[in-house]
Amino acid sequence: MTTIREKLERMEENYLAPYALKSSQSKGRERPEEPDSIRTCFMRDRDRIIHSKSFRRLKHKTQVYISPENDHYRTRLTHTLEVSQISRTVGKALGLNTDLIEAIALGHDVGHTPFSHTGEAVLNRLLPGGFRHNENSVRVLTHIEQGKRGSGLNLSQETLTGILYHSGLEKDDSGYNTLEGQVVRFADKIAYLQHDIDDSIRADVLRLADIPREYLEVLGKGHGERIATLVQDLVQNSSKNINSGQHKISLSLPVQETLKGLRKFMFDLVYLGPLCMVERQRAIYVVEFLFDYYVQNYERLPAFYCKIAQDEGIERGVADYISGMTDNYCIATFEDLVIPRSYVHEIRMSRSSSL
């Protein structure tokens, strides 16, 4: 009897573009599994990621501004959803496998640290061998998350490859990444630059008039207009690449150069600007303190991370623990270790709760 999954796989063969990666063409998982009766392999990857603890924690990991009081600022979770939406739009227009795109997009940032790229920079400096969030996302999904059959979620090779190579604006990953993975890489840049502009204007860190006119003339003045311009250009230019025999997703050169210039502008004025610098120095202090503390007292790590410290090195276990923290949990852990507390109050509270 033909399963629903097999019907879906046949539909992919009939309706996806010839250059799209079909679910039936997947190179499989590290540990072989029986195929699902309903879901394709990439649908299964997506579901495993979205039900993982690391995915849920993204809602309390900030994007640029640390622990903002305004609920309208983006978090890693809302960023991830915006990347998923943009990449699926591009993928649909190009006839690609949107299930694979969605799995990569939803998992691409699960390895991010608290305090955005500031936390990443600190761990990269302190961890022997360095720390990069894209590599850590793969580590989280293959080692830290615990599935039914042990360590890792046992995702398909294509999903993990797309997550591993999602970073970088100018690099050419056409030789080893699927077209679906390449789409997510560009969608990530489109999403974060545009919504960081939106958040910065909301925070009064940036005014629209501050953005160089030459960038706005190419991309547009409004938030939605700029995203639409980038998405349309990505679809049109990638179609030209594919029709000429290139396995490559890319923006046209004028739009690519404009995006690079806008990115540099945001780094100079916002990411490395005075307001973010104040927040960044505080975040650096907290992460450095926790790293040093747990390296010297690694036995105080939770049992899971303590075992990693024993098996793979103390710094590795500490980095895994800290990188998994949300901003709020990181701050609370710091306060718990540093700020004196009244044990008399704690004793009274524990006694009253036992009554």
Residue 348 clears pLDDT 60, i.e. is over it? no
Burial class (CB in 10 A: 0-12, 13-18, 19+), 64: buried
Residue 29 pairs in a beta bridge with 156
Quote the pLDDT of residue 152.
97
Residue 155 lies in a domain: yes
Residue 339 lies in a domain: no
**CA–CA distance, 230 with 251 (Å, rounded to integer):** 8
Residue 320 lies in a domain: no
The better pLDDT of the pair 278, 261 is held by: 261
Quote the pLDDT of residue 271.
83
Local confidence band at 112 (pLDDT 50, 70, 90 cut-offs): very high
Residue 128 lies in a domain: yes
Smallest CA-to-CA distance from 182 within 118, 241, 259, 268 is with: 241
Which residues, other chains included, contact 129 with Cβ-Cβ below 8 Å and sequence gap of 6+? Answer: none
Q: Is the dihedral of CA 261, 266, 268, 271 positive or negative?
A: negative
Written as six digits, the tokens of 172 are: 């050419």
Residue 355 clears pLDDT 50, i.e. is over it? no
DSSP label of 33: -
Smallest CA-to-CA distance from 328 within 52, 64, 63, 66 is with: 66
Beta strands in the chain (DSSP E): 146-147, 150-151
The 10s digit of each residue's pLDDT in 295-316 is 999 999 999 999 999 999 999 9
Q: How many domains does the chain have?
A: 1
Quote the pLDDT of residue 244.
97
Local confidence band at 277 (pLDDT 50, 70, 90 cut-offs): confident
Quote the pLDDT of residue 65.
64
CB 23 within 8 Å of CB 8: yes
User: The CATH number of the domain where 216 resides is what?
Assistant: 1.10.3210.10
Mean pLDDT of 112-124: 93
Residue 352 clears pLDDT 70, i.e. is over it? no
Residue 221 lies in a domain: yes
The 10s digit of each residue's pLDDT in 234-265 is 999 999 999 999 999 999 999 999 999 999 99
3-state SS assignment for residue 339: coil
Mean pLDDT of 92-114: 98
Residue 315 lies in a domain: no
- For 304-307, the CB contacts below 8 A with 24+ separation are none
Which range has the worst mean pLDDT, 157-166, 174-183, 202-211, 270-279? 270-279
The 10s digit of each residue's pLDDT in 186-233 is 999 999 999 999 989 988 889 999 999 999 999 999 999 999 999 999
Burial class (CB in 10 A: 0-12, 13-18, 19+), 113: buried
Domain with 15 in it: 4-276
Mean pLDDT of 73-101: 96
Quote the pLDDT of residue 74.
85
Quote the pLDDT of residue 72.
72
Could you tell me the pTM of the whole model? 0.94
**CA–CA distance, 59 with 192 (Å, rounded to integer):** 16
Written as six digits, the tokens of 259 are: 């995006």
**Average pLDDT along the chain:** 92
In this structure, the number of other CB atoms found within 10 A of the CB of residue 217 comes to 10
Residue 344 clears pLDDT 70, i.e. is over it? no
The 10s digit of each residue's pLDDT in 23-67 is 999 999 999 999 999 999 999 999 999 999 999 999 999 877 666
